[in-house]
Every structure is written in structure tokens, then in C-alpha cells.
Structure 1
């Protein structure tokens, strides 16, 4: 019990300090994005004339890890948001009262989310080794999230970051459960609904940040403008790319099914 209390106290006292906190230097996300691209395109070239790996056992363990991690981040940041709302008022979650808003308990879970984006890059490595198709959306999404989440912490922007941690972790819990079932060879009927949920996630994030832009000056919100602009632009691109993916993947196949049934 004392050990658990000690961990809880360390979470409560978390502080992001640039160039002191592990992986806080800007070189980490920058180098990771470059190395990620080099590794993936190198693997695709190397695997071109080779037999695909199965990786069933590794994929199962990887997806279980991400389910557990996603549940932990989802519940952790929600609890942190609840505690902050009790102490500072719910409005502090949509308008930062301090320029050091991404610290303490809520900052800790945003930091864990940032670290998780490094681990999630393994998703693409698995696809490359299995010789599965890797679309632009997948690469762009994974590559962009590492520097974006770093910027949230480095510039202490709370509003869009805590919400993204919550909703993204919720969706990833379902998504990695789907990947786990497919790794086990079990059929899953809800694949297209995951893409729908991702689009809803980006829409809610865009709505929240739009509101933040609207009230920032009048309410004196202390969050930095730069990460909000970057996140807003990237989020909009995600909406367009995911919507295009959904239409190409599911609407076209539905039309083809209807056509075949009428013939």
C-alpha cells in the first residue's frame, strides 16, 4: 500500500522540464520521425523479394500491451481531469489558468501518451515485415503524432492535449482489440466503425480547439498558440484523409455489393 501511495505521489508531482525530463529535448521527436521513415522504406525494399514473416506471437503480445496501455491512459487522464475540475473548476480544462498547465497528474498522463507514440511506431514495422499494404495515411499519422505530442508538453498546451489523450486512448482500446482478434484469427464485424470513431474524434478535437481560439483572448487563456495551430492544421488533414479512406474502403465496396446483388 505504501508503494502504491508513493507512485501516486510521484504522478501528482510530475514536472515536464525541457532537456531534463527523459525524451524532452526536441532532437528526440525530430530524429524519430526521420529514422521512422528511413526504417520503414528500407524494410519495404528489403522485403520486396522475401517471404513475409508471420509474427503471430509478437503481434498478439504487442496488441495486448497497447490495449492495457490505452485503458491506463484513458482512465488515468480522465481521473486527472476530474481532480483538476474539482480543484480549479471545469473551465480550467478548456482555458488554461497558468502557462504551466501540463504538469502534475494530468501532465503525467499526457507525457505517457507522448511516450506511447514511440512504441506505436512498431505497428508499421509489423506491417512491413508481414508485407501488408502501408498507405500514406498510416505513415503520416504515426510520424506526425510524435512531434505533435512533444509540442503539447514543451509549450504547455492543455486543452487539446488532455482531450486527445482521452478520446484517442478510448478508440485505441477498441482498435487494438480488433487487431488482437485478427491476430488470433477471429472474425470482427466492427472494423469500419473504428474508422468512423476516429473521424468523430478529430471532429470533436477540432470543435474544442475552435472554441479555445474563440475564447483565448477574452478569457485570458494561458496556453501557447503554436501547438494549437499545428494541431488544428494536422487534425483537419486527418479528418480529410480518414474520410477519404472510409469512402474508398467501405462506400465503394458497399456499392459493389449492391450492384452484384441486383445483377
Structure 2
């Protein structure tokens, strides 16, 4: 992975080409239902994310409780530990197949928002870019993402299977994503501060890219939350 991280640019380019090409091809075609494949897809990613969240979460909690916050952020053992290294590697690899989420959106002719494909591309690029250097903070970033995805893909699987899920569940997921971005910014600040003291392995360029990424996600997810839940609720009240 360390030697092949630049291939993430190829995956991203192919993904972008598929988005625009796929939407053009589907423009005059009837949508596909794909309910059963979508259930299996979402369920598979949910199970993967749940296992990832449990395994990385247990490791991070152990480091946090026994060695403290600074060690949990700066310690690179997350990348080389007997269990955590597998889930770190699996996390980075998973960002390529996760692009498949968009295939269902395009083939089912659903609305494809900027946040969706921007998030997929930038996470793929940043994850592969950061993993090659095993930068500090990775354990926090991966564990949080595993946790949010465990809930998110479980929700998608239930919806695809036809279950009626409370709107509050969707709101909770988006709020969790917003919280994840805020924590990500805090971790970046801590990494930068402790890096100046020679206690955290990272570099300024990585911290800048990571901070810009998290800040952009924060703005986009907040905008999505307002549009999808707050603004929509106000419109419904006006109609009533």
C-alpha cells in the first residue's frame, strides 16, 4: 500500500468518469430496482464496519485508558499491532469498493448530491496518502469512521429491505458525522501541537490537507442537515 498509494488517483478518475458517463447513459433508460443487491451490499458493509469498530475501538480504548490521550493520538502502534494493523489496512482498502455506493444511486436514478461523491473521492485519496506515512491520529480517524459507518450502513440495509426506520435515526447519523468532523479537527490540532514537541509523527502538509478536508465535510454535512431536516420540517409546517 505504501508503494501504491498513487493508484488512488486512478480509482478516483475512473469513479468520476463513471459518475458522469453513467448518469448520461441512464438519462433515457428506465431505472433499475436492485433492492436485493442493495440490501446485500449495505449489509455486507455494515457487518464489516461493525467488526472494524469493535476491534479498533477496543484497541483505542485500551491505549486511552492505560497510556492517556497523547499516546492514543501519537502512538503509531495502531498501524503495526497484531490486530489493529489488519483493521487499519482493511479500512484503507475498503475506501475503493465503497465507491460502489454510487453505482446503486446512478442505476436507480436517485438524486446524487455533491457531498456524496466529493466525500468518497477525498476520503479515498486522503486515506491512502496518509497510510503510507503512518501519521499520528490515524487510530482516531479510522475508529470514528468505522463506528459511524457501522450505524449508517445498518440504516441503509434496513431501508433497502423495506423496514420503516424513524427519521430521527437518519438525523442521529448525520449529527454523528458532524461530530466526527469536529473531533477530527481537534485531533489535527493536537497532532500539530505535539508534533512541535517532537512527540507526534506527522508533517504539516498532511495536517493541512486533513484539516481542510474535515472543515469542508463539517460545512457540507451541516448544510445537508439543515436542508434535509430543519428546512424540510419548516416547509412541511407551512404546508400544514
- Give the alignment's TM-score, normalised by structure 2: 0.91
Aligned partners of 2:139 and 2:70: how far apart in 1?
Answer: 13
Does the residue aligned with 1:256 lie in a helix, a strand or coil?
helix
1:179 corresponds to which of 123, 144, 156: 156
Q: What corresponds to 1:218 in structure 2?
A: 197
Q: How is 1:4-19 mapped onto 2 (pairs within 5 angstroms)?
A: 18-19=2-3
Deviation at 1:192, TM superposition (A): 1.9
1:178-233 per-position Cα deviation (integer Å, ceiling 9, x unaligned)? 11111111111111221111101111111121122223212532223332221111
- Asked if 1 retains the 8 angstrom alpha-carbon contact of 2:73 and 2:140, the reply is no
RMSD after superposition: 2.0
- Asked if 1 retains the 8 angstrom alpha-carbon contact of 2:181 and 2:217, the reply is yes
Deviation at 1:79, TM superposition (A): 2.7
Q: What corresponds to 1:42 in structure 2?
A: 21
Q: What corresponds to 1:164 in structure 2?
A: 141
1:48-73 per-position Cα deviation (integer Å, ceiling 9, x unaligned)? 00000111111011011011110111
Gaps of 5+ in 1: 1-15, 20-24
1:123 corresponds to which of 101, 109, 120: 101
Aligned partners of 2:204 and 2:48: how far apart in 1?
Answer: 30
Q: How is 1:109-258 mapped onto 2 (pairs within 5 angstroms)?
A: 109-159=87-137, 161-189=138-166, 190-258=169-237
- Residues 171-180 or 103-112, more deviating: 103-112
- Asked if 2 retains the 8 angstrom alpha-carbon contact of 1:95 and 1:219, the reply is no
Deviation at 1:86, TM superposition (A): 7.5
Deviation at 1:259, TM superposition (A): 2.1
Q: How is 1:51-62 mapped onto 2 (pairs within 5 angstroms)?
A: 51-62=30-41
Aligned length: 237
Does the residue aligned with 1:53 lie in a helix, a strand or coil?
coil
Does the residue aligned with 1:134 lie in a helix, a strand or coil?
coil
- Asked if 2 retains the 8 angstrom alpha-carbon contact of 1:155 and 1:224, the reply is no
4+ residue runs over 6 A deviation: none
Alpha-carbon spacing, 1:86–1:243, altered in 2? closer, same or farther (3 Å): closer
Deviation at 1:258, TM superposition (A): 2.4
Aligned partners of 1:226 and 1:93: how far apart in 2?
Answer: 21
- Residues 238-247 or 150-159, more deviating: 150-159
- Residues 214-223 or 111-120, more deviating: 214-223
2:51 corresponds to which of 69, 72, 75: 72
